[in-house]
Structure 1
Amino acid sequence: MTADIVPLPRAGSSSKREPAGPAPSLGPMLEITAHGMNAVNAVILDRMQSEIPLIPALAGHLISGGGKRLRPMLTLAGAALVGYNGTRQHRLAAAVEFIHTATLLHDDVVDGSDLRRGKAAANIIFGNPATVLVGDFLFSRAFELMVEDGSLKVLKILSGASAVIAEGEVDQLTAQRKIETSEGRYLQIIRAKTAALFAAATRIAAVVAECGEEQENALDEYGRNLGVAFQLVDDAIDYASDAEAMGKTRGDDFREGKMTLPVILAYARGTEEERAFWKSAIGGFRTGEEDFAEAVRLIGKYDAVEATRERARHFASRAIDAISIFPDSRARAAMTEAAHFAVARGY
């Protein structure tokens, strides 16, 4: 599915902000999923074990290294939203986290990352071959958990999402260092590499609760739009936050020649001289610290970070609208605030 493109504010124009008040947080989501996440973490700890010591050591390096655990929390929150009182969601949420962790391990090898969540990336400590293979191990554990659940529909949703994620990563790789990458292509990539797992994680909650198609689609739309918003903000943060806050090296996207929305907008709005800079930088010929500083300056000149966050607000609003079919509840309020948090966060 090709993502729709909505109008963005022009450089220097004012855009709608969230109403003043306390900054949104994941606190409500953490509260409603705390008990369930204890069960999920127990499954994760159990299933990452192996007789080969390197496997739990490497997997544990990333899994225990922090992170928001937002994707498995979405499965638990979705189950709470639809009133499911069983326990199937715990193993499935662990499967979701294993899929996500496996993709992170593979991504760090592909990107040559030095940092992940503020620590040395696994590939730096353990090497690329071990990192890829442990990623494969976690994918296998995820599929074991899906099969044990016994639902072919759940298996289809999560396996389908895994395939789409891989397609998105390949699509991003082929778009790398191509200045002509369009906004539509970019949105297509992030719908696949990020939003697909958000959507699947949320949708399976309706499946285990045996909800109807309307509820399934609503949770799917919530997760999908939240995932797009989340990735948009991630891409904005790469040009707006410091490394300590991000937990990764600042400017990684720039040095890797990734055409993210802030760059696409700054390039489209720039002068001929500025476009020449972007062509050289994205092409890999200008990637030093001074070049990154110039990239940040140009992105600031054309309000490209705020324009990207504005787009994220649009998708977050769509996520919130999608779950409006459900009655008011703590779960719905928590999922609404999580959408606001996804846009407002600085890390």
Structure 2
Amino acid sequence: MVATVHSLKPRKDPSLDAMIALASTDMNAVNAVILDRMQSDIPLIPMLAGHLIAGGGKRLRPMLTCASARLLDYPGTRHHKLAASVEFIHTATLLHDDVVDGSDMRRGSKTANIIWGNPATVLVGDFLFSRSFELMVEDGSLKVLKILSNASAVIAEGEVNQLTAQRQVDIGEDRYLDIIASKTAALFAAACRIAAVVAERDERAEDALDSYGRNLGIAFQLVDDAIDYASDAATMGKGQGDDFRDGKATLPVILAHARGSDADRQFWKDAIEGRRVSDADLAHATRLVRETGAIEDTFARARTYGQRAIDALGVFPTTTAKLAMIEAVEFAVARAY
């Protein structure tokens, strides 16, 4: 069969509705696993975990596992527990991230660390990591275990890399991309790849789904980092300018710093090092990333990675599942507009 080539020319108002519909039956089963496995005799654990898990997230990563399984016409149910495992890994990293970043808002609500404190939040994150590995072991596939455990290690490496890069304005685009490839894209890739393993497909299918997830994850994070300077807190689900105040040199900052005048570069150095964090400073930073074209160029890079994600699906025949996964990429990129 000749593969169909699809270009990233986002339709008007792309959404996740097609993917949500595609994965709805599977996600009902995944959600049941999540609710069951977040329980504990220690009341604080399900209370704190439930605060984030029930906090309105789209559960995109487990949804990708389910959509990939549909793409491959997998008739079984092994992917339900594995998709739940993916969500537990993601939730654990969010809990830990909020502690590291000192965040006070996520998805429009107070973060767990603000409500219950840092120690409890870290420990419940550890509990969810443990639950995720229990689910992997129950599946019984060493290959699946290797993929997801490796992704967990890579995510942790990415978080440490980001931590050591904090408050440094001149980390460069390559290191920035290394960070987001680890802390975001690795789990997207693993979530998709494991579907090919449980469906007993060949390495070509595994690699294709890995590439789809990885490039989608990078595009997703690029857009997130750009709209931190372009959208309000209601759109972001976190405080506007959080990256700026946390001293994170994301791609818009890296580009604006490189393209700015000497005075602009001094401003960015002061800002990222924590000496310019007022609302007026954020407004000035937003003007600089716009005037230097850094926002639009970040979105353009996101579109490039989005196209790579779509191209990776070229090895599969065009089906409802494939079209839903393509629209998910279009949605990820279109959030910029």
* 2:8–2:310 Cα contact (<8 Å) kept: no
Which position in structure 2 is the counterpart of 1:187?
177
Paired residues in the alignment total 331
Residue 239 of structure 2 corresponds to residue 249 of structure 1: yes
Residue 300 of structure 1: how far off its partner (Å): 1.0
| Equivalent-residue separation in structure 1 for 2:229 and 2:8 (angstroms) | 21
The one-letter code sitting in structure 1 at the alignment partner of 2:204 is E
Counterpart Cα distance in 1 of 2:300 and 2:110? 32
Partner of 1:159: 149
| Aligned residues of 2:223 and 2:298 also touching (Cα < 8 A) | yes
Question: 1:85-141 deviations in whole A, cap 9, x for unaligned?
Answer: 100010000000000000000000000001011100010001000000000000000
Aligned twin of 1:52: 42
Deviation at 1:294?
Answer: 0.6
Measure, in 2, the Cα distance between the counterparts of 1:133 and 1:157: 24
- Aligned CA distance change for structure 1 residues 103 and 20 (closer, same or farther; 3 Å): closer
293, 309, 325: which is aligned to 1:319?
Answer: 309
The code of the aligned residue for 1:239 comes to: Y
Task: Structure 2: give runs of 5+ residues left out of the alignment.
Answer: 1-6
Tell me the distance in 1 between the aligned counterparts of 2:296 and 2:49.
36
TM-superposed CA distance for 1:303, in Å, is: 1.9
Q: How does 1:22-171 map to 2 (within 5 A)?
A: 22-171=12-161
Q: CA deviation at 1:18?
A: 6.2
Contact 2:233–2:239 (CA<8 Å) still a contact in 1? yes
- Aligned pairs for 1:164-243 (under 5 A) are 164-243=154-233
Task: Give CA deviations for 1:38-81 in whole Å, capped at 9, x if unaligned.
Answer: 00000000000000000000000000001111100000011011
Alpha-carbon distance between aligned partners in 1 of 2:335 and 2:234, rounded to the nearest angstrom = 14
- Mapped to 2, the partners of 1:244 and 1:206 lie a distance apart of 36
| 1:191-246 residue CA offsets vs partner (Å, 9 max, x unmatched) | 00000000000000000000000000000000000000000001011101101111
CA RMSD of aligned residues (A): 1.2
Separation (CA, whole Å) in 1 of partners of 2:10 and 2:204: 34
Letter in structure 1 aligned against 2:179: I
Letter in 2 for 1:98: F
8 A Cα contact 2:10 2:334, kept in partner: no
Q: What amino acid sits opposite 2:316 in the alignment?
A: F
Cα gap change, 1:20/1:36 in structure 2, threshold over 3 Å: closer, same or farther?
A: closer
Distance in 2 between residues matched to 1:138 and 1:77, nearest whole Å: 23
Preserved CA contact (<8 Å) 1:109 1:128 = yes
Residue 19 (structure 1) shift: 4.3
Deviation at residue 345 of structure 1 after TM alignment: 1.1
Partner of 1:342: 332
Seen in structure 2, the aligned counterparts of structure 1 residues 47 and 262 have a Cα distance that, compared at 3 Å, is: same
Contact 1:245 1:346 in 2 (8 A): no
Amino acid in structure 1 at the alignment position of 2:202: G
Shift of 1:21: 4.2
TM-score, normalising length: structure 1: 0.94
Shift of 1:302: 1.1
CA, structure 1 residues 148+280, in 2 after alignment: closer, same or farther (shift >3 Å)?
same
- AA aligned to 2:184 is T
Deviation at 1:346?
A: 4.6
Counterpart CA distance in 2 for 1:134 and 1:31 is: 31
Q: Deviations over 1:267-296 (max 9, x none)?
A: 011011111100110111111111111100
The letter for the 1-side match of 2:213 is G
| Unaligned segments of structure 1, at least 5 residues | 1-16
Residue 288 (structure 2) aligns with: 298
Q: TM-score, normalised by structure 2?
A: 0.97
Give the partner amino acid of 2:317: P
Contact kept in structure 2, 1:165 and 1:197, CA below 8 Å: yes
Aligned to 2:56, the other structure's residue is in SS state coil
What letter is aligned with 1:141? R
